[in-house]
A and B are shown apart, each in its own frame.
Chain A
Amino acid sequence: MHNKTDKDATYEELTIGGNIYTAGNAKSFKTGDWRSKTPEYIVENCKQCGLCFNVCPDDAIPVKEDLKRRDFDYDACKGCGVCAKVCPFKAIEMK
């Protein structure tokens, strides 16, 4: 009762007033479909310098325990291009 926020929940299931009781819920909203330009990860140019992922506003550049970035999470990437701008090695190209 009154604990869901998903699109299929009925009025009896939805949280009242649309309140959101869980932190970090941005993950459940796929903002990838807002994207008009798409960043391409050029692995051979990447030096793993670490400048790109911490400027990403959407946490769309996954970094694992080895502290190395992987390819983009296109479900989350809005295509803002900030990462491409900060990359000194032409490892990200907006297309």
Chain B
Amino acid sequence: MIQLKWLPRGIVLGLLIFAIFGPLANLALWAFAEQWYYPHKLPLTYGFRFWHQVFKPRGDAIESLYTSVTIALFTVAACLAIALPAGYALARLRLPFRAVIMLAFLLPQAFPSLAVYINIARLFYGMGMNGTITGVVLVHTVHGLVFAVWITTAAFAAIDRDLELAARSVGASALRAFMNVTLPLAAPGIMASAVFVFLESLDEFTGTFFVGVPDVITLPLLMFTASIAGNYQIAAITALILLVPSIAFMLFVERFLKADVMAKVGA
């Protein structure tokens, strides 16, 4: 009886598992396949030959990884430099047009961005900023700001105001209360927003595709080029490098973003 009851559930869950993990497993197979052609259902030989090719010193992938991480770190720095003061002000002060300010940061997400990127690329071209790291960082920053500002605002808003006031009343200056009380308490939320922005920048494709050409080649662009050229092994290995941080963040996101902060995002 019990087995019968479990059958439909088992089938649905099984199909779902296949649908979710099938494509990922496929990617992993390609990354380690040295020879794989029709009509063989699985790779003929496995090995690390293509890994050596990807990771050889001064190879394209290492250089792209370095470019990607540099861009992502600068983007995080730029976003936090804006989001920390903005988030604190939005959470604590009574600002006029607060809703408008919050919405302004959402704008880049509310319009199809591709049509905007092509025009940014054209403007940057006139300024000689196409194909520069600075240009790409600027584009990524605008895109990432909404997460940075909204999450830091929520993180600051979730802190009990009395704790700051208590610090002030025992004689701490406003700056000291902020540095020693508010900032450490908001740290998990700020970390979450930083990781979010980092990942967004690392994975960004469309903006880099238009603004970064021809000199800035990030990992997603490298992967795209390899895939279009039919180098499935190279593409799969690069994709795996990009997958690791995404999946790690997915598994740990709840540890960073506590429910009380989560509930205040966008409010």
Binding between chains A and B? no
Binding site for B on A (CB under 8 A): none
Binding site for A on B (CB under 8 A): none
